[in-house]
Amino acid sequence: MKNIDGGVTAPKGYRASGVRVGLKPGSEKEDCALVLSDEAATVSGMFTTSVMKAPPVHWDVKICEGGHARGVFINSVNANAATGEQGHKDVQATAERLAVALNVSDSEMCICSTGVIGVPMPMDLIFEGIDSCANSLSEGGSLAAATAIMTTDTIPKEFAVELPLTSGTVRLGAIAKGSGMISPNMATMICIVTTDAAIAPDLSQTLLRSAVRSSFNRISVDNDMSTSDTVLLFANGQSGISLEEGSADAAAFGETLTAFCQDAAKALVKDGEGATKFVEIAVSGTATDENAERIARAIGNSQLCKTAFFGQDPNWGRFACAAGYAGVDFDPAALDIRLGDVQLTQDGLVAEYAEEDAAAVMLKDEFRMELSVGNGPGKAVFWTSDLSHGYVSINADYRS
Amino acid sequence: MKNIDGGVTAPKGYRASGVRVGLKPGSEKEDCALVLSDEAATVSGMFTTSVMKAPPVHWDVKICEGGHARGVFINSVNANAATGEQGHKDVQATAERLAVALNVSDSEMCICSTGVIGVPMPMDLIFEGIDSCANSLSEGGSLAAATAIMTTDTIPKEFAVELPLTSGTVRLGAIAKGSGMISPNMATMICIVTTDAAIAPDLSQTLLRSAVRSSFNRISVDNDMSTSDTVLLFANGQSGISLEEGSADAAAFGETLTAFCQDAAKALVKDGEGATKFVEIAVSGTATDENAERIARAIGNSQLCKTAFFGQDPNWGRFACAAGYAGVDFDPAALDIRLGDVQLTQDGLVAEYAEEDAAAVMLKDEFRMELSVGNGPGKAVFWTSDLSHGYVSINADYRS
């Protein structure tokens, strides 16, 4: 795959926009975004597993079950979560307004909201945002859309790649926002992926599930899942290339989709709240991939490991300790830990290394840790940030 | 039960000591502790479930399987964890030295170590500590022992109560240290409980398991389980009161043991690293107690909730959000959240309350949060601290 410009509108037949209607008083940033396919597209989605799913999530789940949509409208600042019956009515009203503004059916538009929990949606402003977004759609609108969906993200995130297949070239585009929280409540991880390949809904869902499992489900900023986490994949077929289940092209597309989602997921971690480090944790030697993932996740979520990352402390006792409580049976005497190219432990015992070499690895903004716990075939990679004073400050500040 | 003085030596027939042999250069604090029953006692234990169990934990597990012991030797500063075969040999050597110094069998002494991981034990100093502890045993030695086992704890923790039973009065005593970490590696939660009741090993293990489940297993400072977490209960029968399985006295003792362990557990949270808040989280209305515990634990471990505690922010969206991802099915429309005596949500929607009233609750050092998620009979209580800049500073500081 080759990186290209254009973000979510890089694939053929998509337009996007981002506008500011003032959902957050005092903010100069765009707050409403629209991504639209010119023609009908298939859609698949992956969502938060929280029982506190926000009304827009319920709406999108239903649309993805149907498998067809034209696009998605997203607002930041207000998550429309824990808003009860009124929240569902507001989603319906949003869909109806989109139908009128875009001349589509009200069951053809997905809706995402990210921001404060428990506050009724200011529907007059949302309607204004829909109309304004509809009027400013363009093939160059990806950056404005990526900016509009930001909450505590410090940079807009857009991605696009070109992928040559045996039957021709297709493109993938995306905008994403991070798993940070905004004052006063939690926000959401959202990623909208577009492609101009033609993919049937079932195949699309299968490919997306697999990609998300190895990307967005392998990252942690603070281990707090939101009420609104959403990944949507639109496929409008405008490239003229169709992916058939079981074909080599479908497999190649799936691999690229996974790598593409991993790039987006890593970008979310790097821009995580207060993050000063980006750490890749690779675990191997377990009986299964699931067990490797469990160990990697335990380390990636450990407050102790994350403060060690922040402190640039090659404190392998903490890494071994988190591996130990991951709920995976392994022989401690088989534990090898490497930090960058420095071997910290061998066969469960401290290895011979210079402390300053290990510390030097952690001085970098990004580094990799490898743990091997045996001879099994299982392996997994996980990406995490550190736990810094910045994180505490961002999330402990009183609502203002 | 009535609180009394004397800590771990308050029950009849126990002596204790704490000495300094200089395991940590520059520290003036005691670092070796001994608790000894004058006569044979039964012993039961609860231990870390980590696969990285330290050699002393393996040793104590084996002794508790036998059900009889005379006491326990504890050192701080070095955890004798991830020390491989040498670690096991050092435990054996420690036991043999104890046997000589105390004129007991080498299979009658439990051993606990807490401190740095992956560093060989300085056995000359440990031998010195054993001999010195043996020579300074006294009925007034509890405070010295409680001080010797401290790592990042800021205050020594000792507890004692007197419990009138139908057949007479028994006493419980304890020393404990917190679930904090010491530079450069993690330490351990250790609690040594003594009683002068006579309890058979099986009953003792049953009572201890039940007590720990509702106390030490219901607390969180940072959700990081150590390689060495240990709770031991010694029962030497010197009160002349014997507890029979199924008796009212055994039930009363069990209840008191639970409350006693809860007091110790809460003390660990209050002295948690960087802790500025002590929060009791009470969840009810679930189908089972396990489900209630799961929700309470999710909130108590959430970085977002813990930073909100630190920020004194009555941010109920975060509490609801953590409840939502706890893996327990409940109806969001049934969620009631109370903070102190202020109702924040009713039937899943924001309730009418004055923001300053809710904020006032969180200004206190200690407060209680109640969540009800339905009409089920399940309930659980969990205790947690906040996530503060102090926590990050303590754990991010480079080894020095």
Tokens of B136: 């300074």
Model confidence over A344-375: pLDDT tens digits?
999 999 999 999 999 999 999 999 999 999 99
SS3 call for B218: helix
Mean pLDDT of chain A: 92
Query: Rounded CA gap, B100 and B173, in Å?
Result: 26
Query: Rounded CA gap, A196 and A198, in Å?
Result: 6
State the DSSP string of B88-127: HHHHHHHHHHHHHHHTS-TTSEEEEE-SBSS----HHHHH
- The second-level CATH assignment, the architecture, of A2-268 is 4-Layer Sandwich (3.60)
Residue contact B51–A330, C-beta within 8 A = yes
| The pLDDT of residue B246 | 95
Query: Rounded CA gap, A111 and A149, in Å?
Result: 12
| The pLDDT of residue A72 | 98
What is the bridge-based pairing of β-strands A181-182 and A32-47? unpaired
B7: pLDDT confidence band, cut at 50, 70 and 90?
very high
Lowest mean pLDDT among A173-187, B24-38, B145-159: A173-187
Give the closest of A186, A302, A313 to B399, CB-based. Answer: A313
Model confidence over B144-196: pLDDT tens digits?
999 999 988 889 999 999 999 999 999 999 999 986 543 333 446 899 999 99
pLDDT of A299 > 90? The answer is yes
Q: What sections of chain A are H helices per DSSP?
A: 55-66, 84-102, 123-135, 142-148, 201-213, 248-270, 289-301, 303-310, 316-324, 355-363, 389-396
What is the bridge-based pairing of β-strands A32-47 and A230-235? antiparallel
Cβ partners under 8 Å of residue B39, min gap 6:
B13, B236, B237, B238
A223: pLDDT confidence band, cut at 50, 70 and 90?
low
| The pLDDT of residue A218 | 85
Lowest mean pLDDT among A12-21, A159-168, A222-231: A222-231
Higher-pLDDT residue of B397 and A50 is A50
| Chain B interface, best mutation among A224, A316, A352, A391, by max B CB count within 10 A | A224
Contact residues on chain B for A52, CB-CB shorter than 8 A: 320-321, 323-325, 332, 335
What is the bridge-based pairing of β-strands B378-385 and B278-286? antiparallel
A394: closest chain B residue by CA:
B307
Query: Rounded CA gap, A154 and A146, in Å?
Result: 12
Mean pLDDT (whole number) for A309-338: 91
> DSSP class of residue B396?
H
Model confidence over B45-80: pLDDT tens digits?
999 888 888 999 999 999 999 999 999 999 999 999
A49: pLDDT confidence band, cut at 50, 70 and 90?
confident
Q: A164 preceded by cis ω (within 30°)?
A: no
A224: pLDDT confidence band, cut at 50, 70 and 90?
low
Mean pLDDT (whole number) for A207-234: 84
ipTM for the complex shown: 0.81
Mean pLDDT (whole number) for A305-318: 90
Helix (H) or strand (E) holding B308: helix B303-311
| The pLDDT of residue A289 | 95
Cβ partners under 8 Å of residue A354, min gap 6:
none
SS3 call for B38: strand
A-B CB pairs within 8 A amount to: 220
pLDDT of A165 > 50? The answer is yes
Cβ partners under 8 Å of residue A280, min gap 6:
A366, A367, A368, A369, A381, A382, A383
Angle between helices A316-324 and A303-310 (to 10 degrees): 160
Measured CA distances, B333 to A93, A117, A131, B317 (Å): 21, 14, 32, 14
Query: Rounded CA gap, A11 and B387, in Å?
Result: 44
Give the closest of B227, B303, B324 to A227, CB-based. Answer: B324
CATH fit for domain B2-269, picks 3.30.930.10, 3.60.70.12, 3.40.50.280, 3.40.50.360:
3.60.70.12
Name the CA dihedral angle for A287, A289, A294, A298, rounded to a multiple of 10 degrees: 100
Query: Rounded CA gap, B234 and B256, in Å?
Result: 15
Model confidence over B118-136: pLDDT tens digits?
899 999 999 999 999 999 9
Query: Rounded CA gap, B44 and A273, in Å?
Result: 45
> What phi and psi values does residue B332 have, to the nearest 5 degrees?
-55, -25
Mean pLDDT of chain B: 92
Cβ partners under 8 Å of residue A102, min gap 6:
A36, A70, A71, A109, A134
| The pLDDT of residue A184 | 33
Mean pLDDT (whole number) for A212-239: 84
A179: pLDDT confidence band, cut at 50, 70 and 90?
low
Answer yes or no: are the C-beta atoms of A187 and A271 closer than 8 Å. no
Answer yes or no: are the C-beta atoms of A173 and A277 closer than 8 Å. no
B89: pLDDT confidence band, cut at 50, 70 and 90?
very high
pLDDT of A147 > 70? The answer is yes
Give the closest of B51, B317, B323 to A324, CB-based. Answer: B51
Mean pLDDT (whole number) for A60-64: 97
| Percentage of residues of chain B with pLDDT beyond 90 | 77
Answer yes or no: are the C-beta atoms of A159 and A264 closer than 8 Å. yes
| The pLDDT of residue B221 | 65
A390: pLDDT confidence band, cut at 50, 70 and 90?
confident
Answer yes or no: are the C-beta atoms of B7 and B174 closer than 8 Å. yes
A186: pLDDT confidence band, cut at 50, 70 and 90?
very low
Answer yes or no: are the C-beta atoms of A383 and A218 closer than 8 Å. yes
Query: Rounded CA gap, B322 and B44, in Å?
Result: 35
Helix (H) or strand (E) holding A342: strand A342-346
Q: Catalogue the active-site residues of A.
A: 188
| The pLDDT of residue A365 | 95
Q: pTM higher than 0.95 for the full model?
A: no
Residue contact A311–B396, C-beta within 8 A = yes
| The pLDDT of residue B310 | 94
| The pLDDT of residue B271 | 87
Mean pLDDT (whole number) for B303-312: 91
Tokens of B179: 């679930």
Residue contact B349–A82, C-beta within 8 A = yes
B315: pLDDT confidence band, cut at 50, 70 and 90?
confident
Answer yes or no: are the C-beta atoms of B146 and B15 closer than 8 Å. no
Cβ partners under 8 Å of residue A181, min gap 6:
A151, A152, A187, A224, A273, A394, A395, B304, B318
pLDDT of B398 > 50? The answer is no
State the DSSP string of B149-210: T-SS-SS-EEEEEEEEETTEEEEEEEEEE-S-EETTEE---EEEEEESSEE-HHHHHHHHHH
Mean pLDDT (whole number) for B210-233: 82
State the DSSP string of A71-96: EEEEE-SB---S-HHHHHHHHHHHHH
Query: Rounded CA gap, B346 and B308, in Å?
Result: 21
- Burial class of A164 by CB neighbour count within 10 A (0 to 12, 13 to 18, 19+): exposed
Model confidence over A83-115: pLDDT tens digits?
999 999 999 999 999 999 999 999 999 999 998
pLDDT of A183 > 90? The answer is no
| Rg, chain B, Cα only | 22
| The pLDDT of residue B182 | 33
Model confidence over A187-202: pLDDT tens digits?
468 999 999 999 999 9
CATH topology of domain A278-396: Ubiquitin-like (UB roll) (3.10.20)
pLDDT of A249 > 70? The answer is yes
A313: closest chain B residue by CA:
B398
Indicate the domain borders of chain A: 2-268, 278-396
Query: Rounded CA gap, A101 and A116, in Å?
Result: 26
Tokens of A143: 């950056």
Give the closest of A184, A312, A318 to B398, CB-based. Answer: A312
| The pLDDT of residue A221 | 65
Sheet holding A219-220, edge to edge: A219-220, A378-385, A278-286, A366-372, A336-339, A342-346, A349-350
Answer yes or no: are the C-beta atoms of B71 and B110 closer than 8 Å. yes
Cα angle, residue A186 at apex, residues A234 and A184 outer, rounded to 5° = 135
CA B254 from centre of chain: 17
Closest CA to B296 of B287, B313, B308, B284: B284
Contact residues on chain B for A392, CB-CB shorter than 8 A: 307, 310, 387-389, 391-392
